[in-house]
Structure formats: structure tokens, C-alpha cells
């Protein structure tokens, strides 16, 4: 059975970019809800013995409840981990080199990622993924993610941005582009680099 991962910072830690009330509701209600519903969906089945990565890799064979809640469980766990009150700035080292190689520059990467986040119609996520050594950006609807065998975006996600309205509406209302712009101030590039090295 899956448990809600511990949050490594206070709900107010990411202010003013992400407000405490949004963090609290997002973590204690939305993420907890996905976790509980995932557990309910896999209880008593062979999936209860698998890792979340194993479940997502063959999610095309599973129910909509496993797809939506398994994605929701995984995506939010990643999302909290790649943000920090000490975030922002730019990556360094191998990740910085790979971004420059794949996108031309860090600024061009930010533009492409922000565009993917802004243009995802309705609810979903924007991603930076590593696939066969190459970096790429894209988006997925609902709680789908690049580990699933049902999306057009394949690879290991190392950075993700939740663009569901529940992620920003209290503070930004309909202004998703402002939320996306603020997100760059809290990205924990050390954690993204750690995930990059683990995936590469």
C-alpha cells in the first residue's frame, strides 16, 4: 500500500510564489485523495505488490482508477520534491550541459517548458523528460505522465509542473502564465540534477 510522502518543508515555505493555503489543500486533500483512491483500487490485487513505477509502466492494462490515481500519487510526489524555498536560478554541471545541448540555451528550454505548461488544454502537467539520453519537454492531460505506456511522451520525468487549476487558482485565479513564471523561483535544480543523473 502507498503512503503520502512526507513534505520536506512547511506549507508556507514556497511563498509568495505558491501560497500556504494552496499547498495545504493540495497536499492534505488532493494528494492524500489520490493516494487513498490508488490504495482502494489496488487492494487485494497483484498490483499491491508492485512499485508505482512498475504499475505506471503497464497502466494500459489497468482500470481508469489506477491510471488516474496512480498518476496523481506519483506526479505530486515528484512535484513536491523538485521545489524548495532555496530554489530558482539555473542548473549547473551535467544537467546544464544537457539542457544547452538539447535546447540551445537555458532560456530556450524555459520558453519551451513554459509554453507546454501554458498550452496544455484543461488539467494536466508539463514535463522535462530524459529518454535514451536525450532531454525533451511536453505535456500530458489529467494525471497521465511519461512513465505510462499510453502517452506520446516517453521517458523518465525529472521536472514536472502541475497546471490543474487546484494548483494555482486561490492565488492566481485564471492567470496560469503568472503561476508558471513564479514556478521558476522555486525549482530545486539540485534535485532535478539528481533525478537526471539517476535516469541517465
Which residues of this protein are in contact with Mn ion, per CB under 5 A? Answer: 162, 164, 167
Q: What value does the CA radius of gyration of the chain take, rounded to a whole number of Å?
A: 16
For the bound state, the minimum distance from the C-beta of residue 96 to Mn ion, rounded and expressed in Å, comes to: 28
Q: Give the count of beta carbons closer than 10 Å to the beta carbon of residue 53.
A: 11
CA 73 to chain centre: 10
Q: Which is nearer to Mn ion, 22 or 99 (CB)?
A: 22
For the bound state, the minimum distance from the C-beta of residue 167 to Mn ion, rounded and expressed in Å, comes to: 5
In angstroms, the CA 169 to CA 150 distance is 29
Q: Are 137 and 116 in contact (CB under 8 A)?
A: yes
Q: Which is nearer to Mn ion, 162 or 191 (CB)?
A: 162
Q: Which is nearer to Mn ion, 91 or 138 (CB)?
A: 138
- The residue whose Cβ lies closest to Mn ion is 162
Q: Which is nearer to Mn ion, 23 or 95 (CB)?
A: 23
Q: How big, in percent rounded to 5, are the helix, strand and coil portions of the chain?
A: 50, 10, 35
For the bound state, the minimum distance from the C-beta of residue 34 to Mn ion, rounded and expressed in Å, comes to: 8
Phi and psi dihedrals of 129, rounded to 5?
A: -125, 155
For the bound state, the minimum distance from the C-beta of residue 38 to Mn ion, rounded and expressed in Å, comes to: 14
Amino acid at each position: 500500500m502507498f503512503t503520502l510522502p512526507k513534505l520536506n518543508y512547511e506549507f508556507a515555505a514556497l511563498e509568495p510564489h505558491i501560497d500556504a493555503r494552496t499547498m495545504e489543500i493540495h497536499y492534505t486533500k488532493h494528494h492524500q485523495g489520490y493516494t487513498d483512491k490508488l490504495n482502494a483500487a489496488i487492494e487485494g490485487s497483484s498490483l499491491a505488490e508492485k512499485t508505482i513505477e512498475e504499475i505506471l509502466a503497464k497502466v494500459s492494462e489497468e482500470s481508469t482508477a489506477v491510471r488516474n490515481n496512480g498518476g496523481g500519487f506519483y506526479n505530486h510526489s515528484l512535484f513536491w520534491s523538485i521545489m524548495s524555498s532555496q530554489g530558482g536560478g539555473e542548473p549547473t554541471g551535467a544537467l546544464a550541459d544537457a539542457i544547452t545541448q538539447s535546447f540551445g540555451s537555458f532560456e530556450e528550454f524555459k520558453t519551451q517548458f513554459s509554453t507546454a505548461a501554458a498550452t496544455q488544454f484543461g488539467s494536466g502537467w508539463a514535463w522535462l523528460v530524459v529518454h535514451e539520453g536525450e532531454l525533451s519537454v511536453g505535456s500530458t492531460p489529467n494525471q497521465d505522465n511519461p512513465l505510462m505506456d499510453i502517452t506520446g511522451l516517453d521517458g523518465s520525468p525529472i521536472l514536472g509542473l502541475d497546471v490543474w487549476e487546484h494548483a494555482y487558482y486561490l492565488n492566481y485565479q485564471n492567470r496560469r502564465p503568472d503561476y508558471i513564471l513564479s514556478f521558476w523561483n522555486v525549482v530545486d535544480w539540485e534535485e532535478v540534477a539528481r533525478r537526471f543523473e539517476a535516469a541517465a
